[in-house]
Structure 1
Amino acid sequence: MKCILVFACLSIALCLAAPPPEAEIIRQESDVNVDSFSYNFETSDGTRQEQHGSLKNLGPEEVALQVAGSYSFVDQDGQTHAINYVADENGFQPQGEDIPQI
């Protein structure tokens, strides 16, 4: 009887210690041009990301890359976390419920 109990406890411990299954890409698209790009993907674990960018003319001989996008993921408790962002000549500007507002 003790042997069965020990075996059951070891089996449960091994199941709990097993790594989660690897996520697979279920959707992926990209479009890359000389002066712009866009891409997006989604994985089987609920992770999503999309981004697009283009060159912005700042002056006669000055350009900057401006990028906008978002990403989200599902944590171990099943809660989805999402971030939207812009990155341009003013820096990286993320927004989301998980980011404290100053």
Structure 2
Amino acid sequence: MKTLCTTLIIVSLLANFSKSVPLKRDDRRRIPSAETSSIPSDVQLVSFENDHNSPDSYQFNYALSDDQTRDEVGTLKDGKDEDGNDVRFFVVRGSYSFTGDDGQTYWVHYTADETGYHPQVGTGPDPGKTF
């Protein structure tokens, strides 16, 4: 279980530091859905929302046909660094979940802010699943 938690934390950290590219409204219509996909894959995109239209915040979420989900919200915050200088940084809240090979649902809820990365990891029904 310790190895699984460590793996989930590392995956979540990597996902948080990856750069997202904003999509224009026209691009959203071109994303394949479960009904229209011609991609030869067992896993298909069921839903996707992306709002990167503000320099001070962003949000996105998606769900895949294999029950993977991810959602994240980032908000720009003003603060001070360790030297007392004014700084701006994103506070990020999000979650993701997936079904393991054992049939169990694994989920991670996280917050990343000026105090660090704070994950909550669990198994079973995701208490915060919103879609």
Q: TM-score, normalised by structure 1?
A: 0.70
Matched, 1:76 2:101: yes
Code of the aligned partner of 1:86? T
Task: Report which of the two structures shows the higher radius of gyration computed on alpha carbons.
Answer: 1
Alignment of 1:28 with 2:28, yes or no, is: no
- What aligned pairs does 1:34-49 form with structure 2 within 5 A after superposition? 34-49=55-70
State the match for 2:118 in structure 1. Answer: 93
Paired with 1:35 and 1:46, the residues of 2 have a C-alpha distance of 30
Deviations 1:29-48 (A, max 9, x none): 01111110000000000000
Task: Name the TM-score, length of structure 2 as normaliser.
Answer: 0.56
The answer to which structure has the higher strand fraction is 1
Structure 1 spans left out of the alignment, 5+ residues? 1-20
How many correspondences in the alignment? 78
Structure 2 counterpart of 1:10: none
Distance, in Å, in 2 between the alignment partners of 1:52 and 1:74 is 23
**SS at 1:22's partner residue?**
coil
Q: CA RMSD in A?
A: 1.5
Secondary structure of the residue that 1:97 maps to in structure 2? strand
Residue 59 of structure 2 is aligned to residue 50 of structure 1: no
Q: Distance in 2 between matches of 1:64 and 1:88?
A: 8
Name the SS of the counterpart of 1:23 in structure 2.
Answer: coil
Unmatched 5+ stretches in structure 2: 1-40, 124-131
| Structure 1 residue runs of 4 or more that deviate by more than 3 Å after TM superposition | none
Tell me, what secondary structure is at the counterpart of 2:94? strand
